[in-house]
Amino acid sequence: MSQVQATIAARNADAAGAFVAYLPVGFPDLATSIDAAVAVVEAGVDVLELGLPYSDPVMDGAVIQAATGAALRNGFRVRHAFEAVAAIRSRVDVPVLLMTYWNPVLQYGVDRFADQLADAGGAGLITPDLIPDEGAAWMAASERTGLDRIFLAAPSSSDARVRQAVEASRGFVYAVSTMGITGARHDVDSAARTLVGRLRDAGATSTCVGLGVSTPEQVREVLQYADGAIVGSALVKSLAAGGVSALARTAGTLATGTRLN
């Protein structure tokens, strides 16, 4: 069992489930993004998901696009992600995943990327625009390095795609709560519950739901049927508006959704 899966399993044993937090590396600058990641862990986050800024973030909403765009303008480079992972792991004992579009990995070199992520103490990679049957190079690299590989499944995914995501993923399967781009929503799409059921029927033992989760009530709702709840835009918005201290308060409030009643 990987560190990510073990952490999620432990939080489902001693709490309602796991709280996974997304933050972009390098926003508003590299040092602050490291402090921000440590702060949310200290506030109650169980697994960190660090996003690599990318010039064509087609799946990201306005809040995350603004943050990653600022990071790129401030000089973010892929190597900074590994520096951030190592720095975070030296300060808090938490699984750290990177989330990235596939092109930066290809440009950097798949094996080089995997080796440097593993050397930094990273737990694995979330690849939103890579499907398993086009990811042979990453499958091989992740096997060699022991990194988790997390693929996405959406409400529109065919049964074959759902099975493929389950069979190829290690750590958890990322269940997209609704069709569209990232961003906080008033209601997490009810399709997420159906999708998690389909993933479980296909053999998934660990599933986390993301896109649109932004309140402790939504975290609690998601954890009624999933193993983890992923929050991104609400945290990034808080960091942008009020800095690390505001972010920590927001993360602490969201973490209350994992408490057992």
Residue 45, φ and ψ in degrees, nearest 5: -75, 140
Contact 165, 151 (CB under 8 A): yes
| Catalytic residue chosen out of the listed positions 14, 35, 49, 187 | 49
Determine whether 56 is an active site residue: no
> Among this protein's residues, is 29 annotated catalytic?
no
Q: Which residue intervals of the chain are DSSP H helices?
A: 3-14, 30-42, 62-73, 78-91, 102-108, 110-119, 136-145, 159-168, 191-201, 216-222, 233-255
User: Using CA atoms, how far apart are residues 143 and 149, in angstroms rounded to an integer?
Assistant: 9
User: What's the Cα-to-Cα distance from 97 to each of 118, 181, 218, 252, rounded to whole Å?
Assistant: 10, 20, 23, 20
Q: Choosing from 14, 29, 60, 227, which is the catalytic residue?
A: 60
* Residues recognised as catalytic: 49, 60
